[in-house]
Every structure is written in structure tokens, then in C-alpha cells.
Structure 1
């Protein structure tokens, strides 16, 4: 298994510079890989809604903006529902794209700090690179449980907990 952790960012939307995407990505990706006891490299593209809509259309057939997309470097081995996936044994884990406009809108709508929301999305996307998914209830529960544990280590509140007004 690779033992170094690295995240490289490509900034297409300048607003990500002010948001310090480099630091957010390094923190989130590092936390996921450390939690799993592995290393690896992830490239993160900080873009806007227009760019991610094109990517979403090209790769998922959904011509609309989304918050985050991920492309694993390898096809993951199928696993029993609810069981964590076998971790990839490669250096380059894959790529992530994240859209500034959608992240801001979601953070505001959910009453969450922007940095916490972006960190959660980057953790989520990195888990996809490792083979986690949420295609069925057992896998969704496993992925959410893993996200909660990693985010707790980062002192970020549970993003799935309902806010009590």
C-alpha cells in the first residue's frame, strides 16, 4: 500500500483560493486516508456550477450542477452490502471536482459553516475513491458511519443529524 498522503488542487474558480480549498482538501483527504491507515494521491478540481454541470453531463448523463463528483482510478471489486470495500493498492486514488456555487447554497440552506460542509463533501468523495458507495441501504449506512467517525476526528458536527430548532 502507498504510505504517503498527497492532495493536489487545480483552481478553475478563483473563489476557491479565498476559501482555501488547498487546505480544506489536504485536511479532508488526509483524515480519510489516515483513518484507513493508507496513503495515496488525490487531485481536486475547484470549479463553478457551469463547469461541474458539463462534467456531470459528460460522465453521469445528468446535465445539471451538483456539489461534488469523483472518479476513482480503478474499478472497485464488488463487495457484500454493508461491508467496507477492499482498499485499492495504488498511489493515485483518483480525482474529485467540487462546485463553489452549489457548496455555498447548500451550506446556507443547511445552516452549516461553509468549511465544514466542503470538508464533509471532500470526505464523502474521497470515500467514493476508496470504493464506498450508497447504492443500497446497508452500504449507505456503512458509508455514513465512516463519514461520521472521520468528521468527528476533525471536530465537525454530524452532517446527518437533524437540527433541532
Structure 2
């Protein structure tokens, strides 16, 4: 079972961020080998914090040594190689998968640049963040392509845009 808590802070507008975050996280998980978790009695917990660029800049500097805001940060609580073991052997029936943090100004600017709504772009960023919590990355070309395909599939399932332009080789 999936439990996603959305924590919107200023300057994020009011909205049903909890429902949006739940739909995005579930769609992301469905694109992975971990899709079966959604039917398990174990509670898989994810926190999504919607905050300011300044707060994300601080976290990015503190944890990644980059002194600038970024669109999304992910903080996994379980090492990827332990995901299956932890979820099957949870003592209390709960697993904290991790935290995702989105920067409002960066998200809004990227949405405007792509000519899409902020909520749609936030959905994409949450999908992206959940995949990071599950151990996926985009450091190499093959990893990036695999992760992008999962993101495309999740967003398509949600009836949203393809976030990646077609590459001309």
C-alpha cells in the first residue's frame, strides 16, 4: 500500500497536492519491477515537500555541494539493493521510502518554458523523484534513456505530456 504525504509551503498555491502526489508516485512505481508493492499490506511511505527555491538551494548546497536551487531533490531512506528485503521483512508493516523536495520558482519557470501547467510539471518531477527513491538514475546514457522511458510511460498513464523532446541522432 502506498502512502504519500504532500507538504505544500509558501509560495506554492493551494491545491490538492496530496492527490497529485499520490497519483504521480503510484504511476511511477507501476513502471518498475516494484509495482507489486502497491498491492501489499506493507505501507510504503513517501513525503513530498513543496517549498521555495531558497530552501531547495540550501538543501542542494548541504547535500550535493551545489549552491543553487534545482527543480527536484530526492532523499532515499533505503539503499536500492535492500529495497526488496526491507519491504518484505518490515517489522511494523511500514517502510519509509524517502523524501522528495520540489522548488516552486524553478518548477514554475520550467513549466512556463515548456508551456504547461505547474501542476503537470510538478507531477513529472514527483515521478522523477520517486524513480530516484527506487534507485534509478540518469548518470549514463543507458540509465538516462531507461529512466526517461519510465517517466514517459507514467505520464502517459496519467494523460500528461511527454517531458522529453525527440532526440535527433
Q: How does the TM-score come out when normalised to structure 1?
A: 0.83
Select which of 110, 114, 117 maps to 2:118.
Answer: 114
Aligned equivalent of 1:21: 17
Aligned equivalent of 2:137: 133
Distance in structure 2 (CA, Å) of the matches to 1:106 and 1:30: 23
Shift of 1:87: 5.3
Query: Is 1:10 the counterpart of 2:12 in the alignment?
Result: no
- In structure 2, stretches of 5+ residues that fail to align are 39-43, 88-94
SS in 1 for 2:80: coil
Distance in structure 2 (CA, Å) of the matches to 1:120 and 1:30: 12
SS in 1 for 2:12: helix
User: RMSD of the TM alignment (CA)?
Assistant: 1.9
Q: Kindly provide the CA deviation profile for residues 24-46 of structure 1, in whole angstroms up to 9, marking residues without a partner as x.
A: 21110122234423241101111
On the 8 A contact 1:6/1:30 being kept in 2, the answer is no
- In structure 1, stretches of 5+ residues that fail to align are 78-85
Query: Is 1:58 the counterpart of 2:62 in the alignment?
Result: yes
On the 8 A contact 1:70/1:97 being kept in 2, the answer is yes
Select which of 33, 37, 58 maps to 2:29.
Answer: 33
Distance in structure 1 (CA, Å) of the matches to 2:85 and 2:134: 6
Larger helix fraction of residues: 2
Select which of 150, 153, 157 maps to 1:149.
Answer: 153
Q: How does the TM-score come out when normalised to structure 2?
A: 0.82
On the 8 A contact 1:5/1:33 being kept in 2, the answer is no
Shift of 1:128: 0.2
Q: Kindly provide the CA deviation profile for residues 138-165 of structure 1, in whole angstroms up to 9, marking residues without a partner as x.
A: 1111101111111111011211135xxx
Distance in structure 2 (CA, Å) of the matches to 1:22 and 1:161: 28
On the 8 A contact 1:87/1:131 being kept in 2, the answer is no
SS in 2 for 1:97: strand
